Each structure stands twice: as C-alpha cells, then as structure tokens.
Amino acid sequence: MLRLQWLSSSLVPSFNSELSPETVSNCRLGSLNSFRPLLTLTTTRKPSPKCQYSWNTQQQQQQSAFEPGSQTDSFASQTRAGAAAALPPRFFVGHSIYKGKAALAVEPRPPEFTPLDSGAFKISREGFVLLQFAPAAGIRQYDWSRKQVFSLSVTELGSLVALGPRESCEFFHDPYKGKSDEGKVRKILKVEPLPDGSGHFFNLSVQNKLINVDESIYIPITKAEYTVLVEAFKFILPHLMGWHTIANTITRPEDSSRVNNANPRYGGDFEWNR
C-alpha cells in the first residue's frame, strides 16, 4: 500500500499524498487504468502542506543554475544585454570642412538638465556648438594635436545665422573669467566676408600664457559651405535650448496644467486673464 502511495505522488506531483483508505484499497485491487479516474477526482482537494520537494533535486538545480554556460547563466546574460539595449542610443554627429591650410570640425553638444523633487527636469546649462580648428600638416593632412577650440553659445549662433554676405562679427572668450587665471587665456573668433563676396573667413586667434601658445588659424568658407552651417545652426538651436523636450508636455495638456499650477513662478494665467 505504501508503494502505491509513492507511485501516485510521483505521477501527479501536485496531488495530495494523503490518500483515503478507500482510495488505497481501490488502487490495490484495481488496475492502473481504474486508478487514473480516482486521481482525477481527488486533484480538486487542496494540496497537503506535508508535500515536500526533494532536497537533493533542489540542490542539484541550484548548483547547475550557477554553473557557467548553464541555462540560468545564459538568461542572465540575455537580461544584461536586454537592459543595455533598452538604454537610449547615443549618436555622435558633426560636419567638417577641409581646406589647404586648415580644417574645421563642427559638433553640437547637448544641454544639461537637473532633476527636481517633483520628478521633472530643469535645464541647468544650455548646449553649444564646438568649433575645432586644426592646422594643415601636409597635403590633405592635418595636425589635430595642435587643434584650437571655440564654443559658440546660442546667442553667438544667432549672430552667425543673421550675418549678411557683406557683414562681419567678432567673439571674445576668456575661459578663466572671474577666476585667478583671468586674462591668461584669450580667444578671439572673427568671421569676415571674403573680398570677392564668395563666402567668409573664419579666423581663430588664441593666446595662452599658461602654456606659451600664440597661434592663429584661419580657413575660408564658401557661400555654399556657410549656408550648410547656417541651416544646421537653425535646426539645432531649439535643441541646444532644451525646447524640444517640452513637445511631450504640449501633447498632454493635463500634465502641462498640473505642472504650471504647481509652479509659483508661472505667470501665464495672469498674463492672459487680465
């Protein structure tokens, strides 16, 4: 009778191992086919808390789960790969112009945001466009180890966008302004029209007293090349200001209203309700 009881629990793991005397008697006297209906009828009973799982089997599964190359190890690797794939992809873009005496590389840099206690984000630093000037080291060769950089703010980009074919502008940067090394590094970027009106000169002068560098790099930019730069500047300006992030809020008026009402400095309602 005990052997039949072990057989029934092995056939149906979720079956209650405590069989009634009538069931055991029927199992002993009847065939296996007559035993199956009884199993079906008794599976509706609540499983007994005395049902135990083999410790040896459990220990073997735990050991195999952490063995290299096991199914669980493979699943963990897939999970990590899936988490990495779930991260937003990063893209590095830019535009370069190569001339006989210098090369110019233009790259946008995104704005920075600070998280708020409400769960929202506030822009902490606007983006910019990085200009990198590299002098020529030979025919179609450029020495990027001697490159000089200049960061254009959104306002300076606006000046270049509005620049006429016969107009010029000049920007001055001191990276250490307001610090102890103020005045030791001076950067001046001049954008002037070419004599024949076919484009502009970009001339970057750098005086760095900290490392004894005094260099001037200039590169002519044709009208077509300048048009490409201007169109790129127009496109990227709202993104550098972080304004593209508000698009999701505009599509959900209820969220926008809740944020505006929660912000004590928001004065839009007062402006339109006068």
In whole angstroms, what is the distance from residue 195 CA to residue 2 CA? 107
Distances in whole angstroms, Cα of residue 74 to Cα of each of 77, 81, 85, 182, 199 = 5, 11, 16, 57, 59
Q: What is the pLDDT of residue 65?
A: 43
SS3 assignment, position 216: strand
DSSP code string of 154-215? HHHHHHHHT--TT--EEEEE-TTTTSTTTTSEEEEEEEEE-TTSSEEEEEEEEEETTTTEEE
Q: Is the pLDDT of residue 38 over 60?
A: no
Q: Which of 124, 138, 133, 179 is nearest to 152 (CA)?
A: 133
At residue 227, the pLDDT reads: 97
**pLDDT for the residue 244:** 87
Q: Taking Cα atoms as reference points, which of 255, 260, 262 lies closest to residue 272?
A: 260
Q: What's the gap between Cα 128 and its chain centre?
A: 18
Q: pLDDT at residue 188 above 80?
A: yes
What's residue 79's pLDDT? 56
166 has a pLDDT exceeding 90: yes
**Contact assessment for residue 226 and residue 161, using Cβ atoms and an 8 Å cutoff:** no
Average pLDDT of the chain is 76
Least confident segment among 16-25, 132-141, 163-172: 16-25
Specify which of 20-24, 68-72, 78-82, 86-90 reaches the highest per-range mean pLDDT: 86-90
